[in-house]
Each structure stands twice: as C-alpha cells, then as structure tokens.
C-alpha cells in the first residue's frame, strides 16, 4: 500500500458533469475533455477528415486569424490543443488560474467558430499527405497501414486516423466542417479538471465552455468485434529490417479479470528488460532492440497487441520465440516472483502518473472513459496485492490464445 489517493469530486453545471481534483498549491488549471468517435466517424473515401479538422481548430477562430489566435494564446500563456484518435476526439487546455477566463473564451471560440482558412487548411492537408506517404516508405508504417483492415475488415476503426494518400487530396473545408458537425456535440462529452479551480468555478465554466455546442451526441459506432485471426502475413517492402505487429483478442475494460490480465501482459511483454519476451529475444539472443505487448483499448474493448523489429534474416526466429513464450505463459502463467515484482512496480508507479495538473486531468479522463468508479485508483493497490499465483495462472490461460495470435510482417523476412 502506498497511501496514494486522489480526492476526486463530481461537479455538475448546465447539464454537464466533470471530475475534479482541486489543488491550489500551484496556480495552474488543466481541463481535458473527449467525445467518442474520432477517425471511426470518417466517411468512406474521406479518411483523415476528423483528424485534420480537429488539428485545425487552433488555426483561427471567430474574428481571430491564425496569427492573432496564436498571439492571444501566447500572451496569456495558454496551452490549447485538439486532436483525434481511432475511437475518440479530444481537447484540452492548461493555463494559469488568472488566465482561466481567456482560456475558456478561446477554447469555446475554436470549437464553435473555426475559420478553416485556406492557407492553414492547405498547409495542414499537405503535411498530413506527406506523413501518409512517408509512412508507406518504412516497414513500421506499412505494417500499421495493413494491420487494421486485416484485423477489423468490417469495422470503421480500421480507417487510418490521419488519412491516406488517396483520401487526403479529395478533402476540402466542406468535408472538414461536416466531420466537425458530427463530432463536436454536447452529448457524449467526458470532462475532467485538475488544479487551482473550485467546484463552483468549474460548475460555472462547464456550460460557458460547452453550452453552445449542438445538442445530441456523435453517431454511435458499431460494437468492436474481436480481431480477425488472419494467421501470418507478409507485406513486402525493401528494407534491411522487418517490422512485425502481432495481436489476438483481449478483454473488455469492464471485465473483472482486467487488472490480473494487465499483470500477466506486463510480465510477458510490458515490463521492459524484466519481461519474458525481452529476456528471451533481446537479452539472451540479441535479436531486437525492443519487443513489447499490452492492451490497446478501443470503444471499451482491449485487444492484445505488440510490436517487434529485427533483421530480415532473423525475423522468422524472432516470431518462433514469440509464439513459444506466448504458449508457455498461457500454459503455466507467471511465477510467484514475477507476480510479486509486477505488483510492486504497478503499485509504486501509480503516483508517478499523476504528478501535475495536466497528467491528473488526463488520468481522470481515462478513468471516466473506462467507466471506473471514483475510488478505483484508491483501491487499486489493495486489489493488486490480493492477486495470487493461481489467479494469474487462470487469467493467463483464459487470456492468451496462441492459436489466435495473428502476425503481420512488413519487410523482406527470410523464411516467412
């Protein structure tokens, strides 16, 4: 037990609810919020619209052109950003407590009156197009582009977040405004705040910041299925190294075995040099600089996913060792010593994830996104300490499915 706890309060105002950790030791306020959807809301053929539109919200709003908005943010020392992921869009700001009214004004202006002027739009689209094309020149980028459509062929989560070399040239500001109209809504909002702000201040801020957004929620995305077991596939690309993505079905975030599964995955491939995969594949054989695996959470579901890169000539050996360790952990589970080390790390590391207002607000938002109760963090060390070797052995057998482990390799791997 660490004695660590976050004094979380639920604050409501104007029909919105936020979680707050109030702390006036430093005069800084951080606010973070998110909507479900993200790139999954992009229309077919308009991949990248949501990501590009969200990134351009700070390129001018209302009567403030791009330079004027940047100067207003700089003069008040406000950090304001927007973005989109595969399954969500988000916004956040961080400012001194005295600058909170200005941060509210500018954030609201960006969400309700984005300009999307020609010059920043063309520049942003060109940059996105460059990134999309550059990604296909590397094994990592080629593997990532190919993996998601293979794993989720019939689900919108497979759409590339930043768009493609085919979709981006066809985007115009009308497409971006349509994407924003779907995404920026009052409904579905999750909000978190931390720092030098009182519950009364936050209650008044919520409707002032979000009350002018359109009513309703973003369109619902179909439930995420288990990833398709596509076996082992190779995407040819000329390069001295190959890059592999490996994945299998996981658990829902709400599953009662979630934390035990996190411990199992940390021991298998999430613990840096202490993990089994790193020990067998890097430390003992020098096959790679790094290999890791863990949960990737999308729409409340966690898929088990990992990556590794190595020389073309050694990728087949690397994958064979990966499959061997996967099966070994599934069969026997962690040892008592591995379990004790993993629990000690996860317990001791928890406070380090909440060292400033920005990280606290982001952590609160993640808790809300995963449907956790307010006391979830306070009780986590107790839950972790209660895990036994039989618990993690059972969960390893339930979670890890060697026969369902799909592997996609981009490069020129020998023997695959």
Instruction: Encode pLDDT of 256-294 as tens digits.
Output: 999 999 999 999 999 788 999 999 999 999 999 999 999
pLDDT the model gives residue 4: 64
Q: Are strands 190-195 and 16-22 parallel, antiparallel or unpaired?
A: parallel
Structure tokens at 188: 């579905």
Strand order in the sheet with 8-13: 8-13, 16-22, 190-195, 28-36, 88-96, 79-84
Is the domain spanning 8-210 CATH 3.30.830.10? The answer is yes
Question: Within 13 Å of residue 309, how many CA atoms lie on the same side as its CB?
Answer: 15
Residue with tokens 């999308």: 298
Q: How far apart are CA 241 and CA 412, in angstroms?
A: 7
CA distance 340 to 151: 34
| pLDDT band, very low/low/confident/very high, at 5 (cuts 50, 70, 90) | confident
Percent of the chain scored above 70 by pLDDT? 99
Q: Grade residue 60 by pLDDT with cuts at 50, 70 and 90.
A: very high
The overall average pLDDT reported for the chain is 96
* pLDDT > 90? residue 374: yes
CATH number for 232-364+372-411 (one of 3.40.50.300, 2.20.25.10, 3.30.750.24, 3.30.830.10): it is 3.30.830.10
pLDDT at 217: 97
Q: Is the pLDDT of residue 195 over 90?
A: yes
pLDDT for position 2:
44
How high is the pLDDT of residue 352? 86
> Which residues of the chain does CATH 3.30.830.10 include?
8-210, 232-364+372-411
């Amino acid at each position: 037990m660490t004695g660590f706890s976050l004094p979380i309060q639920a604050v409501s105002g104007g029909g919105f609810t936020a979680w707050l950790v109030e702390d006036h030791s430093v005069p800084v306020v951080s606010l973070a919020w998110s909507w479900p959807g993200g790139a999954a809301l992009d229309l077919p053929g308009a991949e990248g619209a949501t990501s590009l539109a969200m990134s351009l919200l700070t390129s001018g709003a209302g009567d403030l052109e791009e330079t004027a908005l940047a100067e207003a943010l700089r003069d008040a020392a406000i950090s304001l950003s927007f973005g989109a992921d595969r399954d969500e869009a988000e916004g956040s700001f961080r400012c001194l407590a005295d600058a909170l009214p200005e941060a509210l004004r500018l954030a609201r202006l960006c969400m309700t009156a984005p300009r999307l002027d020609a010059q920043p739009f063309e520049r942003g689209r060109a940059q996105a197009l460059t990134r999309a094309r550059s990604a296909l020149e590397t094994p990592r980028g080629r593997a990532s582009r190919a993996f998601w459509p293979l794993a989720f062929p019939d689900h919108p989560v497979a759409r590339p977040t930043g768009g493609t070399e085919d979709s981006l040239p066809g985007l115009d500001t009308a497409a971006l405004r349509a994407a924003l109209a779907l995404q920026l809504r009052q409904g579905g909002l999750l909000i978190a705040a931390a720092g030098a702000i009182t519950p009364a201040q936050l209650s008044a801020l919520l409707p002032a910041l979000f009350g002018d957004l359109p009513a309703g929620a973003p369109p619902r995305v179909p439930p995420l299925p288990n990833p398709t077991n596509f076996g082992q596939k190779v995407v040819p690309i000329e390069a001295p190294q190959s890059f592999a993505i490996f994945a299998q079905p996981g658990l829902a975030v709400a599953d009662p075995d979630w934390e035990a599964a996190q411990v199992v995955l940390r021991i298998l491939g999430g613990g840096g040099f202490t993990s089994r995969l790193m020990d067998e594949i890097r430390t003992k054989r020098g096959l790679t600089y790094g290999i890791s695996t863990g949960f990737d959470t999308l729409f409340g579901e966690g898929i088990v996913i990992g990556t590794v890169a190595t020389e073309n000539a050694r990728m087949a050996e690397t994958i064979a060792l990966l499959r061997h360790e996967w099966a070994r952990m599934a069969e026997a589970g962690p040892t008592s010593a591995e379990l004790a080390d993993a629990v000690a790390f996860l317990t001791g590391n928890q406070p380090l994830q909440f060292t400033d207002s920005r990280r606290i607000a982001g952590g609160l938002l993640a808790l809300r996104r995963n449907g956790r109760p307010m006391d979830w963090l306070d009780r986590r060390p107790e839950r972790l300490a209660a895990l036994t070797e039989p618990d993690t052995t059972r969960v390893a057998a339930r979670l890890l499915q060697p026969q369902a482990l799909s592997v996609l390799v981009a490069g020129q791997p020998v023997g695959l």
